[in-house]
Amino acid sequence: MTGNARIPKAELNGVYGAVVKRMSRKMFGEVPEPVEVAWHNRKVLNFSFAVGRKSAKWDRCDENLKTFAHMAVASLVGCGFCLDLGYFMAHDQGLDEAKAREVPRWRESHVFTPLERDVMAYAEAMSQTRPTVTDEMSARLLKALGAPALVELTAFIALANMYTRTNIALGVESQGFSAACQLAPLAERSADLGSPA
């Protein structure tokens, strides 16, 4: 659970702090730890908020696919906070939470369509150091989704890498959002599948 951040949480103070606390509690029941850590540098925090708001308006790619992609990145990179939040958000937004729950073991699970598997493979390939995206992988997604959706999915995966890697570097861990909603625990990732290169 939470509390092991490498930078101590800051007290959200002032009028802006009160607004952020109120909105966070309305959305999540509590203030997410990444917000409290980033409060030390409001320009960075505001950038993160702005990117989140703007990317939430993107509408050319299916929300379930984007959620599965983000959670696949989080599982690969090891960001418990993003996995937990993604599962919570799938539940909160009426997305397919049964599938979201299975993302950490998507290769073994039988609940995903071929397109969903291609999306998660693409997300993981983009997240490798060096990226391992192939022409064939891109061609399948381009045919299935179309150019506007593939551009959106690619940018969304890039943002997922920004969020997950920031949380990992800062030592931010899961806050148990999904447990608070009494969702079934996330499936466990197989140790030998899809590990970073």
DSSP-derived letter for residue 103 is G
Q: What mean pLDDT is predicted for residues 110-114?
A: 97
Quick check: is 22 in a domain? no
pLDDT band at 1, cuts 50/70/90? low
Q: What mean pLDDT is predicted for residues 138-163?
A: 98
How many residues can be counted in the chain? Answer: 197
Quick check: is 82 in a domain? yes
Quick check: is 189 in a domain? no
For residues 34 and 174, the answer to whether their CB atoms sit within 8 Å is: no
Give me the number of domains the chain comprises: 1
Residues of the chain with pLDDT > 70, as a percent, come to 95
Q: Which residue has the higher pLDDT, 81 or 186?
A: 81
pLDDT band at 193, cuts 50/70/90? low
Quick check: is 114 in a domain? yes
pLDDT digits (tens, 9 = 90+) for 64-95: 999 999 999 999 999 999 999 999 999 999 99
| CA–CA gap between residue 104 and residue 14 (Å, rounded) | 39
Tell me what pLDDT residue 195 has: 46
Q: Is pLDDT of 116 > 70? A: yes
- Expressed as residue numbers, the domain containing 158 is 59-180
Tell me what pLDDT residue 196 has: 45
Terminal C-alpha separation, the chain? 27
Q: Is pLDDT of 178 > 60? A: yes
How far is Cα of residue 26 from the mean position of the Cα atoms in its chain? 20
Poorest-pLDDT segment among 89-98, 104-113, 187-196 = 187-196
CATH number at residue 154: 1.20.1290.10
Tell me what pLDDT residue 183 has: 79
Q: Is pLDDT of 182 > 90? A: no
| CA–CA gap between residue 69 and residue 145 (Å, rounded) | 14
Quick check: is 3 in a domain? no
Long-range own/partner contacts, residues 150-156 (CB < 8 A, 24 or more apart): 150/61, 151/60, 152/58, 152/60, 152/61, 152/66, 153/61, 153/65, 153/66, 153/69, 153/119, 153/122, 154/126, 155/55, 155/58, 156/55, 156/58, 156/61, 156/66, 156/69, 156/70
Tell me what pLDDT residue 192 has: 54
The rounded mean pLDDT for the chain is 93
Q: Is pLDDT of 141 > 90? A: yes
